[in-house]
Structure 1
Amino acid sequence: MQQQVQVLPDEDGVRLIVCAGEFDQDNLAPLASACTTAVEDPRVRRIVLDVTALTFADSSMLNLMLRVRASDRLVLAGPLPTQLTRVLDLTATREIFTLAESAEAARAL
């Protein structure tokens, strides 16, 4: 699957960033840029990262998610793909992320 990053229009201060495909240190820049823009925008009260179509994530993706999480506004919208679940479980970081069953559920938090 080809990598895609889509930033949907904000709704009630919630920015939805949809990522699909493989993310590693070589191709993380578009997602990192979208996340940084969201973190720096004071009008954004919640950043929802839809990871349902993610097929690969390495430690650089995890580091990006941890940096965005530091803003206290990140919600991961799932269901979480098996590969991402494995990364979170191996690093014992799943519990520190706010998870939602879908993008709609994440918007409603």
Structure 2
Amino acid sequence: MDQHVTVSPDVDGVRVITCAGEFDQDTLEPLRQAIADALADPVRTIVLNVSEITFADSSTLNELIRLRRTGRPMVLAGPLNPQMARLFELTSADQIFTIAESVEAALTL
């Protein structure tokens, strides 16, 4: 599976983590590491750009829920692909996450 995680330099206490490709239990480590690094730093808000994710399974969703439970403000920047949107809809995750239409929109929240 092809996937990658890119971390942009912090701007005004906001860290943008961009995820691209397919994410499942076997490919989550780069995302886990990026999240751990963000939580270890004095980052005010984490923006996860998920607009380039082509596939995400329940383990990916669980990782996002774990991040949400840390209490650190976070925003998912979309749009979500149809498969991920369906996963969020079926699990009602779309009700617990703040989802913005784009990274630019997420930065204004």
Please classify the TM superposition score into its range, dividing by the shorter chain length: over 0.9
Percentage identity across paired residues of the two chains:
56
Q: Which residue of 2 aligns with 1:35?
A: 35
Q: Which moved more, 1:65-74 or 1:97-106?
A: 65-74
Answer yes or no: is the 8 Å Cα contact 1:14–1:46 preserved in 2. Answer: yes
**2:41 matches 1:47:** no
Residues of 1 paired with 2:44 and 2:25: CA distance?
27
Q: Which residue of 1 aligns with 2:22?
A: 22
What is the CA distance between 1:38 and its match in structure 2? 0.9
What amino acid maps onto 1:44 in structure 2?
Answer: V
Normalising by structure 2, report the TM-score.
0.94
Structure 1 unaligned regions, length at least 5? none
Matched position secondary structure for 2:31: helix
Which stretches of structure 1, 4 residues or longer, exceed 4 Å deviation after superposition? none
Normalising by structure 1, report the TM-score.
0.94
What amino acid maps onto 1:80 in structure 2?
Answer: L
What is the CA distance between 1:23 and its match in structure 2? 0.3
Q: Paired residues, what number?
A: 108
Q: Which residue of 2 aligns with 1:64?
A: 63
Answer yes or no: is the 8 Å Cα contact 1:19–1:31 preserved in 2. Answer: yes
Answer yes or no: is the 8 Å Cα contact 1:79–1:102 preserved in 2. Answer: yes
Structure 2 unaligned regions, length at least 5? none
Q: Which residue of 1 aligns with 2:75?
A: 75
Matched position secondary structure for 1:16: strand
